[in-house]
Chain A
Amino acid sequence: MSIFDFKGMICFIGAGSLVAAAPAIPSGPVSGQVVDDQGKPVTGAILVLECQASGFHKRLKSDGRGGFTFGGLPANDYRLTVRAPGFSTAYRDLPVRSGQPLEVSIALELASATVMVESNPRAATEPGALRQDVVKTESIPAEEMQKTGATSLTEALTHRPGVDVQVECSVCNLRSITLDNLPGRYTTLTLDGIPIFSPVSNAYGLDLLGVNGLERIDIARGAGTSLATPESLAGTVNLVSRTPTTDSLEGDVSRGDFNYQRETVYGAKVFDWGAISANGTHQRHDSVDGIGDGISQFTGYDRYMGGLGLFLNDLGGFKVKARFDRIQDKRMGGPLGDDYDGVLASTTGNPFNFSAGPNGSPSPNSWINPSTGTLVAPYDQGAAGLAEIIFTSRDQFVSTAERQFGDTRLHLGLGYAQHEQSSWYGGDSDYWDHQRQGYLDANLQSLMGGALITLGASFKYEGLHSDSISETPGSPYFGILRHDVDAYLYRTPGVYLQGYEVFFDDRLEVSASLREDHNNVFGSITTPRLDVLWHHSSTLSSRVALGTGYRLPSSFFEQDHGLLSAYAVDRSQAKPERSKNISYALTYAEDRMAVTGSLNHTQINDMATFVDNVAGDFLLLPALHPFIVTSADVNGTYKVTPSDAVTLGLEAYHYTFDSQDANNAVLFSRPNYRVSLSYDHEAGPWDFNVRSTFTGPQNLAKWYDYADNPQYNLNGTPKINTSPTFLVVDLHTSYQFTRYASGYFGVTNLFDYQQAKHDTFLYSGPYGNLNVTHIWGPNIGRQFVAGAKLSF
C-alpha cells in the first residue's frame, strides 16, 4: 500500500466516521472577505476550498466587495487557497466544526514580481499614503536628484516648496534642513525609517549623506509624522536605500570650479536568494573666499563615503534589508586651503584683510569698536585664531526584517551609529566628542475588522561623551582638559499604536496614532497624531493632518561653541521642546498638470534657549514665549509641450516669536516669501533643467535681536535691518551618448549672487568682539561642474 493509499483510507474512514457521527448536521458556513495589503477588497479572486480527508473540493470567485461564502460544509479540516492576478497565493487551514459559522479575512500581498509605483510630488495624497509608518508629504526619486545634479542630501533638498537647506555657519558649513521654515534642528533624519542621527551628527553630517545608492528621499512635513520619530517637531526626512532588482555597475566622475572633485561607484548583484550592493564616493572642494579678505565663506572639505547592502528574500521566513556605511570627512573654514597642521601652528600675526568687502574696516589688521569709534587692538592670533577644523568619522548600520504570519505582518528594525568628531574652534575651544546611538523596534500590523492596526514598541539609546579645552584666554578653564562638559545619556523606551481604515468606497482614508515614551530624564511623554485623506475624485484630493511632537534637549554645542568656556552647562531647568502642528493640503493632478497647495501652522513651546548667566554658567532654559510659523505654499507643474514642463512654486511665511528667545536659541533669519520657477526640457537624449529661486526680504533686526545684541560692520556702521531680495539660478543639462554612457554639465548660482559682496558674514558686537554668523544669503558664487557617467 502506498502512502497515498494509506491517506486515502484514513480519509475514507474519517469521513465515514463523521458521516456516521453527524450525518445530517452540516456546520455553519465559511465566509469572509479577500482584501489587498491596503485592506481594499479584491474582486474576482479565485478561492478553492479542499478537504484532503473527504475529497471535498469547491471553487468560487470573490464578489464585488471581495466577499465569499462556502455553505453547507461537513465538519472537517479544510484548506483554503486564494489566488488573484498580481498577488501572491494565500493559504489558510480551516478547522470547520459543527455548530458555529467561520468568518475569515484573507489579506493578499502583492506578488514579489510586481512593484508599487513611487510617485513624486503628490505622495501626500496618493491612495494608501496614510498607512505607512512614515506618513510622507512628498518624495524625491533618484531620477529627479540626477536631473538637478544633486550629489548630497543638502543639494537634493535645497529650495523646494516648504523645504530648504540653511547655512548656519559661514566658516564651518554647518547646515540644516528646514521644513516649513522651522529651525533645522527640528527636522529628524531617518535611514530606511530608522532614527540614528542626532543634533551632533547632523551638525556637520548632512553634507556627508550622499545620494549615491538611494532610491528616493521621503519628506514628511509636520510634527510626529513618523511612528518612529516623535521628536520630529517640524517633520522627518527619510532616506530610502535602493533595493537592487537587476545586476548593475555605475560609475560617475565630475570636476568643477574651486577644485571640486567627485567620484562615485555603485554596483549590485542579484541572486536567487537576494542581492548585495556596494557604493563608494569621494568628494573634495576648496574653501572659497569671494571678497578677498582671506576668510572662507564656503568651507573646504575632503570626504570619503562607502557602503555595503545586503538583501535577503527569505531568512527563516523574513525578508531582510541591511546596510552598513562608513564616512570620513575633513573640513576647514576660516583660513583658506587645507594645510591643517600649518594653520594650527600659525598662532600669531594677521593673515587676513579686514578692510576687504563692503563696509570693510579702515585697517586690514583691525576693525572698529562701535562703543568707542576707534580701532580695536590689531588682530594677532594667526590663521588658527579664526580657523574651524573638524574631522568626523562615522559608522552606521541599519537593518529591517519583515515576515508575514497569516494576516499579520511582523516588522523588526535595528539601528546603530558611532559618531566621532575632533574639532578646533579658533578662539573658542578644542573639542572631541564620541557619540553612540542605538535603536530597536518591533511592531505587528494586522487587519482587525476593517482597520489596519499597527502595534509596536521601540527603544532608543543616545549617549554623548566629550573632552574639551577652552581656548578663550578669559575663561577659568583656559588650556585645561575637561571631560563631559556637555555629556548626556538618554534611554527612551516607547510603545505606539496606529489605526488605519478606509471608508466610503476608498474615498476617505483615516490614520490615527498614539505614542507613549518614557525617557530616563524627562519621564513620560505622549504624542498623538491624526491624518485624514479625502479623494474628491481621481484627480483631486484633500488632506488634513494634526499632531504633536517633542524633542529632548541634547547637545547644544552645535548652537554655541562658547559654552565650553563656561563653568558648567546647567540643565536643571531644561524641558523637552514640544510642537503642535496642523496642516491642510489640496492636490489636483491630471495628465499634463499637477498642483498642490498647502497651509501649515506650527507652534513650538518650551523652545530650548541658552543663556549665559551672571555666574558664568550656561543655563539651558525653556523659552517663555512660543515660536510660531504659519505658512502657505502652492506648487504646480504644467507640461507645456510634449518635451517642455514649467513648475511654479510660491511660499509665504508669517513668524511670531520673541527676538531675545530667537537669539538665545541661535535661530537664523528666514525670508517672508520665496518664489521658484523651473523649466524642464526632455527630448531624445537631452535633459535640460533650469531652476530659479527668488528669496524675499528677511527681518534681520528681529531675527538677530539687534535691540539687545546690535551687530555692526567692521567699519563701525550698523548692519542692515532687512536683507535685500535675491535671485539664484541653477541649470543642469545631460546627454545620453549611448545606452551605457552619458555626460552632464551644470552651473549653480549662474548670476553669481553672493551675500558677502553686499553684506559680509563677519560682524562686530557693540564692544568690538568679532563673530562670523551674520547670515542671510548664498555663501558660494557661480560654479561650473561637468562630468561623465557610465551605467552597465
Chain B
Amino acid sequence: MPILTGTIRRLACSAIFICAGCTAVAATPGRMELQLATLDGSAFVRLSDFPGKAVLINIWDTECPACVMETPFLNAQSRIYPQVQFLGIATGDRVTSISFSRQFHVSYPQLQAPHDPSGLLRRLGDPRLGLPFTVMLDAGHRVCATRLGAVDANWMADAVRKGSSR
C-alpha cells in the first residue's frame, strides 16, 4: 500500500508539473521562449540569450526543396541585417543537417528541433506544420511576421521593418 500511495503521489506531482508547464506558457501571452540544443550538441540556446534583439527563426529540413533553395539567400540576409539575430531550426537528421550547413557555410546558429516539433510549430504560428517556415520576432520576442514557404527580399524587408518598429 505505501508503494501504491507513493506512486499515486508521484503521478500527482507529475500532473501538477505538467499543468504548471501549461500555465507557464499561458502566463506570458505573445512573448515567445524556446530552449533548444545546437546541432553540434554543444549548448542550449534560449531566446532570452538575445534580450532586446529582434530574432528571425527559420525552420527547415534537408528533405524540403524550398528550404534548401532559400538557405543561401537567408545566409546573405543575415549579413545584410546584423541587427536581427538569425536562428535556424533543423527538423531532419542531425548529422545530415550539420553537413548541409557546412556545405552552405551557414553563419548563424543552427538548432535541433524538439523530439516532436509540432508543438513548437504551432506556438510559432504554423499549425499546418509546413516547411520552410520563417517567423520574425520583435525585440520583445513577440511574433510580428510569419511566412510559410520560401522567403524573398520583399518579405524580409517588411519583416525586419516590423521587427524593428515595435
Contacts and interface: CB of A to CB of B under 8 A. Distances in A.
A127 B118 contact: yes
Contacts of B133: 86
Contact of B115 (A121, A146, A246, A739): A121
Nearest to B94: A682
B21 A643 contact: no
A685 interface: yes
A80 interface: no
Nearest to B63: A245
Interface string A119-151: 111100011100000000000001100100000
Given A121-B115, A643-B41, A113 B149 contact: yes
Given A113-B69, A114-B64, A126-B118, A643 B37 contact: yes
Interface centre among B21, B41, B63, B119 (most CB of A within 10 A): B119
A592 B17 CA distance: 14
A86 B42 contact: no
A683 B131 contact: no
A40 B130 CA distance: 13
User: How extensive is the interface on chain A, given as a class?
Assistant: 35 or more
Interface centre among A119, A537, A589, A637 (most CB of B within 10 A): A119
B123 to A, nearest CB: 5
A36 B130 CA distance: 11
Contact of A117 (B69, B112, B129): B129
A592 B129 contact: no
Interface string B1-43: 0000000000000000010011001100000001111101111
A734 B128 CA distance: 34
Interface in A638-672: 639, 641-643, 645
A86 B119 contact: no
B153 to A, nearest CB: 14
B151 to A, nearest CB: 9
A569 to B, nearest CB: 48
A128 B129 contact: yes
Contact of B22 (A40, A117, A537, A643): A537
Contacts of B69: 113
A537 B26 contact: yes
Given A114-B66, A739-B99, A126 B129 contact: yes
Nearest to B124: A538
A111 interface: yes
Contact of B95 (A127, A589, A687): A687
Nearest to B40: A684
B40 to A, nearest CB: 5
Nearest to A37: B128
B130 A110 contact: yes
A40 B128 contact: yes
B7 to A, nearest CB: 11
A38 B129 CA distance: 11
Interface string B104-116: 0000000010111
A683 B42 CA distance: 7
B162 interface: no
Contacts of B63: 115, 245
A40 B125 CA distance: 13
Nearest to A734: B95
Interface centre among A87, A122, A590, A683 (most CB of B within 10 A): A590
B133 to A, nearest CB: 8
A590 B123 CA distance: 10
Given A114-B148, A537-B25, A120 B115 contact: yes
Contact of B66 (A37, A113, A146, A639): A113
A98 interface: no
B103 interface: yes
Contacts of A111: 66, 149
B119 A589 contact: yes
A58 B122 CA distance: 33
B34 A591 contact: yes
Contacts of B72: none
Contacts of B149: 85-87, 111, 113-114
A70 B112 CA distance: 45
Nearest to B38: A642
Contact of A538 (B40, B91, B123, B128): B123
A114 B148 CA distance: 8
Contacts of B51: none
Interface centre among B41, B91, B93 (most CB of A within 10 A): B41
Contacts of A682: 41, 94, 112
B61 A117 contact: yes
B75 to A, nearest CB: 18
B122 A538 contact: yes
A589 B118 contact: yes
Contacts of A114: 64, 66, 130-132, 148-149
A645 B119 CA distance: 19
B121 interface: yes
Contacts of A457: none
Given A115-B63, A736-B99, A683 B41 contact: yes
B156 interface: no
A595 B44 CA distance: 20
B34 A85 contact: no
Contacts of B128: 36-38, 40, 110, 116, 127-128
B118 A40 contact: no
Interface in A579-617: 588-592, 594-595
B52 interface: no
Nearest to B93: A143
A540 interface: yes
A150 to B, nearest CB: 15
A37 B38 CA distance: 33
B116 A120 contact: yes
A243 to B, nearest CB: 9
Nearest to A639: B37
Contacts of B95: 685, 687, 734, 736, 742
A420 B5 CA distance: 57
A87 B149 CA distance: 8
B137 interface: no
A642 B44 contact: yes
A539 interface: yes
A165 B125 CA distance: 39
Interface string B75-106: 00000000000000001111100110011000
Nearest to A270: B65
Contacts of B139: none
A536 interface: yes
B53 interface: no
A462 B64 CA distance: 39
Nearest to A738: B99
Interface string A93-127: 00000000000000000110111110111100011
A199 B131 CA distance: 39
A274 to B, nearest CB: 13
Nearest to A116: B129
A742 B37 CA distance: 23
Contacts of A684: 40-41, 98
Given A127-B122, A127-B129, A739-B103, A86 B35 contact: no
B126 to A, nearest CB: 9
A642 B41 contact: yes
A506 interface: yes
8 contacts: A37-B128, A87-B148, A111-B66, A117-B118, A117-B121, A539-B21, A642-B42, A682-B112
Given A121-B116, A592-B114, 18 more contacts: A86-B147, A87-B148, A113-B69, A115-B65, A116-B129, A117-B91, A119-B117, A119-B129, A127-B127, A245-B63, A538-B119, A540-B22, A590-B25, A642-B37, A687-B95, A736-B95, A736-B99, A742-B95
Nearest first, the 10 A-B pairs at minimum CB distance are A86-B148, A643-B41, A86-B149, A642-B37, A113-B66, A683-B41, A143-B93, A122-B116, A126-B118, A115-B64
Interface of A: 36-38, 40, 85-87, 110-111, 113-117, 119-122, 126-128, 142-143, 146, 245-246, 506, 535-540, 588-592, 594-595, 637, 639, 641-643, 645, 681-685, 687, 734, 736, 739, 742
